[in-house]
Homo-oligomer: A and B are copies of this chain.
Amino acid sequence: MTSADMSQIEAQAIKRLRQIYLKDLESNFSEPEWNRQPDSLYAPQRYIMSMAGKRLRPVLALMAAEAIGKPASAAFPVAHAVERFHNFTLIHDDIMDEAPLRRGQATVHEQWGQHSAILSGDAMMVMAFDALLKLPQAVMQPVMKVFNQTALEVCEGQQLDIDYEGLEAISEAQYLQMIRKKTSVLVGASLEMGSLCAGASPSQSQALYQFGLALGMSFQIHDDILDAFGDPSIVGKQVGGDILQNKQTVLQIHLNGCLDGQVMPGEGLTDELRVKAVCQAMRSLGSLDHAESLRESYFQSALEALDEAGSMHLAIEDLRAMALWIYQREK
């Protein structure tokens, strides 16, 4: 199948489910729960939830329900819970990163101040848990168990990120553990929980979790690569941010290993030249190839887990299209 065929499938399954999710989100916004007082607590939540985004996690949750043969709407509570939780982490992470912008718009703390950002994030986490109360009683406890475990792991991943900032260098294994918790587990859990509320067996939902976990790893490494080597006109921002912030990524850790204490290329140059010099070194010393091969390897693991799910009578074609779309994205 060509890349053009794939984006055709994207246009069908992914866009359809994103629309279904967004429609339900919009109808939520007119309900009393999203219009409580004081508005200063809820406006920041509606603001960040309304920013354009891939809606990866809710779409995967809905897709997992369909893969089991149930209507997507069976997974609405999970779709809202994971997207709310994800957005709660964005609000608090942006405070910690002192980020002024997200997707070209002011971050919540920039717009409403730090105190309101802490609090609206807190309230949004409650809203995430609250979404799960709409689940049928039979699946409530198992889904919540996965959700709580995942929520703790996401906090642990962010804490590792903070802890690592204080270290001179971290190993690739440490980095991979950190992104597994910070990013991948929630992708996996979106699929697992989406399938559980559609009646999946434990082994079916576990196969989908493993698919999401590996896909999330591939996704995050891809993000790191795009941040340094993406096309600025497609990515929509100047590349090289991670390099300028000395952020630990798979690329940077590999490069550090090659340089083995030698001075980093481009030291003392302008930002633009420094990014160029570091990217050049990442190419010539094999850091980019290494990152690409890691990304590829996680993607293959994802497809294997998906095939296993397929062998358990799940309809996995849309999920495969989603995985390919994520793998081929240029932004």
A contacts, CB < 8 Å to B: 36-38, 40-41, 88, 92, 95-96, 115-116, 118-123, 125-127, 129-130, 133, 137, 140-141, 144-145, 148, 151-152, 155-156, 158-160, 162-163
Q: Assess the A159–B38 pair: CB atoms within 8 A.
A: yes
Q: Assess the A123–B155 pair: CB atoms within 8 A.
A: yes
Q: Is the interface of A mostly helix, strand, loop or mixed?
A: helix
Given contacts A92-B122, A152-B123, contact A159 B116 (CB under 8 A): yes
Instruction: Tell me the bound Cα distance from A40 to B157 in angstroms.
Output: 11
A sample of 20 cross-chain residue pairs with beta-carbon separation below 8 angstroms, ordered by A number, consists of A36-B152, A36-B156, A38-B159, A41-B159, A88-B122, A92-B119, A95-B118, A96-B119, A116-B162, A119-B159, A119-B162, A121-B122, A122-B155, A123-B155, A123-B156, A123-B159, A126-B151, A129-B129, A133-B148, A137-B141
4 A-B pairs with the lowest CB-CB distances in the bound complex, closest first: A123-B155, A41-B159, A130-B148, A126-B151
Among B118, B130, B137, the residue within 8 A (CB) of A137 is B137
Q: Among A119, A133, A158, which residue has the most Cβ atoms of chain B within 10 A? A: A119
Instruction: Tell me the bound Cα distance from A310 to B76 in angstroms.
Output: 43
Distance between A84 CB and nearest chain B CB, rounded to angstroms: 12
Residues of B within 8 A of A118 (CB): 92, 95-96, 118
Q: Assess the B96–A163 pair: CB atoms within 8 A.
A: no
Among B37, B137, B151, B159, the residue within 8 A (CB) of A40 is B159
Instruction: Tell me the bound Cα distance from A120 to B151 in angstroms.
Output: 12
Instruction: Tell me the bound Cα distance from A122 to B123 in angstroms.
Output: 11
Q: Among A38, A125, A145, which residue has the most Cβ atoms of chain B within 10 A? A: A38
Distance between A138 CB and nearest chain B CB, rounded to angstroms: 9
Q: Assess the A129–B115 pair: CB atoms within 8 A.
A: no
Instruction: Tell me the bound Cα distance from A158 to B96 in angstroms.
Output: 21
Residues of B within 8 A of A133 (CB): 141, 144-145, 148
Report the nearest B residue to A37, measured CB to CB.
B156
Q: Assess the A40–B163 pair: CB atoms within 8 A.
A: yes
Report the nearest B residue to A178, measured CB to CB.
B38
Q: Assess the B96–A155 pair: CB atoms within 8 A.
A: no
Q: Among A88, A137, A155, A163, which residue has the most Cβ atoms of chain B within 10 A? A: A155
Q: Assess the B155–A119 pair: CB atoms within 8 A.
A: yes
Q: Assess the A158–B36 pair: CB atoms within 8 A.
A: no
Report the nearest B residue to A125, measured CB to CB.
B125
Residues of B within 8 A of A115 (CB): 96, 162
Instruction: Tell me the bound Cα distance from A95 to B162 in angstroms.
Output: 17
Q: Among A96, A115, A125, A159, which residue has the most Cβ atoms of chain B within 10 A? A: A159
Residues of B within 8 A of A127 (CB): 152
Residues of B within 8 A of A140 (CB): 137, 140-141
